[in-house]
Structure 1
Amino acid sequence: MGVQTRVNGGKQAAKADTRLESAPLVGQPHDVLAAEREPDSPAVDLALSGTVFFDIVLTGLAAPPAAGTEVGAEGMGSCPGGVANLAVAASRLGLRTSVAAAFGEDVYGDFAWDTLSVQERVDLAASRRIPDWHSPFTVSLAYRGDRSMVTHEHPSPTPHHEMAHALPQARAAFVGLGMDDGVPQWALDQAAKGARIFADVGWDDSGTWSGAVLDQLRRCDVFMPNAIEAMSYTRTGSPASALSALAEYVPVAVVTDGPRGALAVDQCTGESAEVEGLVLETVDTTGAGDVFGAAFVVGTLANWPLEQRLRFANLSAALSLRHTGGSLSAPGWADIASWWGQTAAGHSVAERRLARDHRFLADLVPLSWLPTEQRRASATIGLRN
């Protein structure tokens, strides 16, 4: 008998689902780059290329299933994943975002395409629908503040890096670095016309943590690994030591450390900053790193001070943890306004400290700007509007 996972039925489970399945608020789009836009500015703020997965996320597990057993999940969501996580997060924060990716001509591809292009306003002009090709598929099991994933995919007949050459010129390009490949040519072409290259890196299953990845940073503007990745690649023993080593390779280095916060150095402005983590209720951690990255891109393109960029990225990532699903858990400006309004009105010592640290939000989301009561569609293919 194989491993099975089933969503609990019954009134108690339905009550839990209501809490866990709540979706981000809807508010008016907010363009933080409005003052930066000129007639000859790029039409797109952020260009991305990569794999879009159809994600099914199961939350509220006490533990992952062992072989031959069945466990219950309190919540479930389905949404576009992979590169869609960063694309949706950036779009919800006001960036004009364009993606080059392959989409199958199956129900999963239909759902992902419609969700990105219609609901989330992501430009897919450089993307392609691929006939007779199964969309990549991932099941994510969220438990105890972490997650495990099972993925099924076939290589696209048309590689996404080939599609990426059709991406419009952007202010920024976001790439994932790997041991075998250098910075993709499409991103270098974007950089040659003024785009800044933001980069992150995936987990190295081989355990070699090749220095070739660090050499690629010399062609990037910003690098945002997590603490374990940063320490592994730099052969250092602390996030601060890793940050110092990374600063030898790239102008802006950021090291994220989950609930412990983030630290960064910006050699372009001469700033360094370290901020503590922001701990909120956690339902699902899927995509939190992508939300952090998108929010940091927003702050960088808007020319915010480094500490402000880190705090905004930390807050955005923390708010995403409250909801199911990687891409559709990303906060919009209404979510940020709601959190800021509650925090600014608080009277506890902790709330006053948070309000002081995030007082820059008063200029970005004035308290008079109230979010609507409407909610986004639930993160599931089964309840599409």
Structure 2
Amino acid sequence: MSADPADALDVLVSGPVFLDLIFTGLPSAPRAGTEVWASGMGSAPGGIANLAIASARLGLRTGLAAAFGDDAYADWLWAVLGEQEGVNLSASRRYRHWHTSVTVSMASGGDRAMVTHGHPDPEPATDLVAAAPPAGAVVAELTQTATGAEPWWRSAADTGTLVFADAAWDPSEAWDAADLRRLDGCYAFSPNAVEAMAYTRTATPPEAARALAEHVPLVVVTLGAEGALAVDAATGQEARVEPLRVDALDATGAGDVFAAALVTGTLSGWGLEQRLRFAVLCSGLAVQHFGGSLAAPGWGDIADWWDATVGAARTGDRAARATADRYEFLADVLPGHALARVRRAEATMARRSDAQPTTPTPADPVPVRLRAE
């Protein structure tokens, strides 16, 4: 990474960017020879853009090292990320004769099916990340690399950057415990309960978290509808929090929002339980909207939720009172953040947003490269 501290980031992410088209409210899954009408549709940046936008909306100076094509979809993705959301794209590149990957998500019957078309990125992530400013944290997946190749975040970890690792799905479902060696140099690991227990060959999520704490300083295990738990290996402290009770519409990107919130709390120096509660809150707010990245909450959304919760508590609502007590730390946190509006997913790729960007910045220059052969 480049070493100019004036351009330092809070968090850097790298990976493929997709254009996501989300259809909701389908009466049934489409069958060959039929046409099905959806009651709702949204378009949003997808893939690693989920994490980049979630981080930027929480006020983190966020950088993205990714490949973009030279088509109209890429123009829109670049504008949304760089101009609207304030993501630093100085380490991203655009490539001629390479098109944007697209995912179509179709929700029906409480589940969703996806169709994706795309091609491998033209250059390795390590080549793009080399041009990125220094960052306080990076978020990466625990994925296999080519034989002998270092993961893209290794050089950052060697200079003291906090690496937050997430588990990648193992299509073989072998969950080889030897894969945990790739956590060397990571600060945190946040698998879901199934992944955590499979890797550690344990029977319960708490047992899995304690076993994983032998590999990283911070373990967070997400429990889906049951909340999340965490273990701080340095202190031995454990925390478990209940989920936020919401009417969930679309879980796309909720894990990325959780990760962004966890990084936010860590860089802010919050306690273990506060970080965990904040991550559960942000992901809970996100699933009430569809569209992955553009469902991510901003501080204005968090302030609205807090005001509504406190208001309900003052009317004598006991559940609201208990929730307000658990999240009382927000009363001290919220005054330090701009409560800007954020944009939600729209049916079409709108040229202009009806909301102001969280951090208005001029667009970065758009470097265009010939596609690497």
Same fold by TM-score, threshold 0.5 exceeded? yes
Aligned length: 345
Name whichever of 169-178 and 210-219 sits farther off. 210-219
Of the three residues 68, 76, 86, the one matched with 1:121 is 86
- Mapped partners of 1:312, 1:194: distance in 2: 25
CA-to-partner distance for each residue in 1:213-236, whole Å, 9 max, x for gaps? 211112211001111111222222
Of the three residues 330, 341, 351, the one matched with 1:384 is 351
Gap regions ≥5 residues in structure 1: 1-38
Of the three residues 126, 135, 144, the one matched with 2:100 is 135
Report the CA distance between 1:378 and its aligned residue. Answer: 4.2
Name whichever of 150-159 and 181-190 sits farther off. 181-190
8 A Cα contact 1:78 1:380, kept in partner:
yes
The match for 2:247 is 281
* Equivalences for residues 113-262 of structure 1 within 5 A: 113-180=78-145, 184-262=150-228
8 A Cα contact 2:295 2:345, kept in partner:
no
8 A Cα contact 2:44 2:345, kept in partner:
no
8 A Cα contact 2:125 2:152, kept in partner:
no
Report the CA distance between 1:307 and its aligned residue. Answer: 0.5
The match for 1:353 is 322
Of the three residues 293, 297, 302, the one matched with 1:331 is 297
Report the CA distance between 1:185 and its aligned residue. Answer: 4.2
Letter in 2 for 1:325: G
Letter in 2 for 1:277: P
* 1:105 equivalenced with 2:70 (yes/no): yes
The match for 2:16 is 51
* TM-score, structure 1 as length reference: 0.84
SS of the residue corresponding to residue 36 of structure 2 reads: strand
Letter in 1 for 2:322: R
Report the CA distance between 1:150 and its aligned residue. Answer: 1.5
SS of the residue corresponding to residue 141 of structure 1 reads: strand
Name whichever of 90-99 and 270-279 sits farther off. 270-279
Report the CA distance between 1:260 and its aligned residue. Answer: 0.5
8 A Cα contact 2:177 2:199, kept in partner:
yes
SS of the residue corresponding to residue 382 of structure 1 reads: coil
Aligned identity (percent) is: 51
Letter in 2 for 1:206: S
The match for 1:29 is none
Distance 1:298 1:42, change over 3 A: farther
* TM-score, structure 2 as length reference: 0.86
CA-to-partner distance for each residue in 1:277-303, whole Å, 9 max, x for gaps? 112111111000000000000001111
